[in-house]
Structure 1
């Protein structure tokens, strides 16, 4: 007489091996592929919950000395802007314990080109102990048109925070190139403004700390469930380049705000910023420090191809004088450094030593 075949079953759900795709054996037990999948889902949910709780847990406030140290290493001078930034990050940290939570600071940096606005904003992104996102507002357009809308800014911050809502809601956003939204900028589309006043009005929702619905990833889709992000506690710093408009010495914030409106920004937009900080032009001694740092970076890069840059003292003075005379300031120093490195890299056989004196500086600047 033939013995009946033994039917194996999952010890967790009781399904037989004929009812599932896989049945994995262990010490005196079996588990099916469906139960393994359920276990993985449970573990993933628990891990996500623990991550969310960790993101929402109180953190130590950012240390002001450490923040100043990193900002000083990136940008020469502009101490008022650095103070506004450090104060904003620390204020937002302690304000989260209040009920109701006040809106995180909104700061607008104003100044000519080449004085460190963008560099300081990027340095802040590196120094802030929170998820940070840098965004060029020139990419924005009115909702429904080609280009990014305001929700893309928060979507980018959410991606940096790896999808964590609590981490996103205490993040830091740097908006660069606000002058591109000026009503005085030339328009290629004359029948409707889709990147000036309309975008400024769109940004009001972010500056006012409204809750914004953003897609978790990629472009919007009708069937996609959006994520609601409260922007009230996100620190926002924006930078605007003013050319052709000079702030009088010791100008008050009110005067700076009036200048911004004259430059083509909406009064409603400017008024949403708690602080307006002017980036003053760099003095000769500050530009000398910028040039010394640029030369040091150039020397290190040239060493990588076996070239030694022999920097003479008169080269620094000549470069600083040229940068002041041209009004390009930090931009002028950066452009010279690029031209200098071009000379190093285009040589068929890089020279062992490349002398940089006043004559070499003038020759490179004249090209």
Structure 2
């Protein structure tokens, strides 16, 4: 077969052969990547209903709208949520005005600096905002980047990643959010001697992006992109140079800023301003950070031009035990819902008692990792339950303080207990039914035993068994209640064998009593 008759290789085959060639010729010094530096970024995705119309940018939120949405997911941090809501509205209202044709060149972009320890909700705040307003979101660790020409990622790769997260929609990518964590790690204190490739150079490169610049979609260091440009030039006689303008990209940076405390304390102690009696050592870190000035950040190691491009500064508070407890009980994204769903997948009902949740919050606070500690504690406490219970007779259990404090002993007792000890789950179903439909039901003792027996035999939860038995019962019982005024309904054992017929007969009988 002639070479001309052979089918052309697929793009994947071309990429694989190019990668093999580069590795043979240059070793690991040159990498061939399909998308630039994706390993440095944690990205948010855009759902179909979040995508904007391809015309003018659509933004119609008020600060209170955004804060109300954040309140559903993030506990505490009211000041941070308020400041961020205002900054986001200011920024995207300006973007909307520019998209409508207004020339507002004197506007100062509301780039944000977040200050706070790990696990207080910094990433969650930004990701939730991006999902709400429907713009692409990219998160990366600032320490992964370096000045161009040195080992490390190029900050421009973050802008290119926005383009990928926007599914190739260039206009939408230009309205995205870039979030850089651990920004304090690229500070360059004045006492460092020599050239710092991971600090000042990165700040300088970020400075260009935070203002307004054009970033080429094809990275100069991405060999595959450059080869594609060369092939395009061969075919068309010219290569199209697409760029992303960063004028409307919102930049948010964050860090713990451990060394900043001492700088602020020294300044306050010397000036005796801000705290009565010079008691700067007695205040919380968050309160100290709220007194930080631009000069403090410069002394910490930021370039004046860099920190000057971060006009909005937000301090997040360390989470207390009470805050962690509220996250478990009130947040729409509570990890408890995740664990309840994972046990439910095995047909197991789990109830979390308030004292059990409080114990989880107390242990999580000792982890000193903020809300992340909740997942750490839950995983440690419930890991063996996930392993043992799906293969056991146990279809229900309750997370109490005793279980959290001694999970091994609680698991042993649970595995040795008889199924009839789980009547509380039937009672809990009755309570939830009354709460949801306004109708009080009560399973007879014989019916309760039969429900537990069926749940155990089928390895299903009490909730699943009862839902199947009482499907549409709320409608029939409501009719009976209307006809007879009956307030409480006892479900006998006989009803479980033919629940639909039993309800039908019950409804018919209620009309005869009128």
With structure 2 as the length reference, what TM-score do the two structures score?
0.53
More helix by share: 2
Give the match for residue 92 of structure 1.
Answer: 91
Aligned to 1:166: 171
- Higher Rg: 2
- The secondary structure found in structure 2 opposite 1:55 is coil
Q: How does 1:1-367 map to 2 (within 5 A)?
A: 55-96=54-95, 97=97, 98-101=102-105, 102-183=107-188, 193-215=196-218, 219=222, 221=226, 223=230, 225-243=240-258, 246=261, 248=285, 250-251=287-288, 255=292, 257=294, 260-261=297-298, 264-292=301-329, 293-347=334-388, 349=391, 351-363=394-406
What is the alpha-carbon distance in structure 1 between the residues aligned to residue 384 and residue 397 of structure 2?
9
Per-residue deviation at 1:114? 1.7
Q: Give distance in 2, aligned partners of 1:259 and 1:118.
A: 24
The 3 A distance-change label for structure 1 pair 309 and 340 is farther
How far did 1:115 drift? 1.0
Structure showing the higher strand proportion among its residues: 1
Q: Is contact 1:118–1:239 with CA below 8 Å preserved after alignment?
A: no
Aligned-pair Cα RMSD in Å = 3.3
Length, aligned pairs only: 309
Alignment check: 8 A CA contact 2:363 2:377 kept: no
Distance in 1 (CA, whole Å) between partners of 2:168 and 2:335 is 38
Cα distance, 1:173 vs. partner?
1.9
Distance 2:214 2:306 in 1: 18
Q: TM-score scaled to structure 1, two decimals?
A: 0.72
SS of match in other structure, 1:255: coil
In the alignment, is the contact (CA less than 8 A) between 2:289 and 2:315 conserved in 1?
Answer: no
Distance across 1 between alignment mates of 2:289 and 2:150 = 38
Provide closer, same or farther for how the CA distance between residues 76 and 120 of structure 1 changes in structure 2, counting only shifts above 3 A.
same
Worse-superposed segment, 55-64 or 102-111: 55-64
Question: 1:216·1:227 contact (CA, 8 Å) conserved in 2?
Answer: no
| Gaps in structure 2 of 5+ consecutive residues | 1-51, 231-238, 262-283, 409-514
The structure showing larger relative contact order (alpha-carbon pairs under 8 Å, at least 6 residues apart) is: 1
The Cα offsets for residues 87-141 of structure 1, whole Å up to 9 and x where unpaired, read as 2232123324242342431001100112111221222222223233233333312
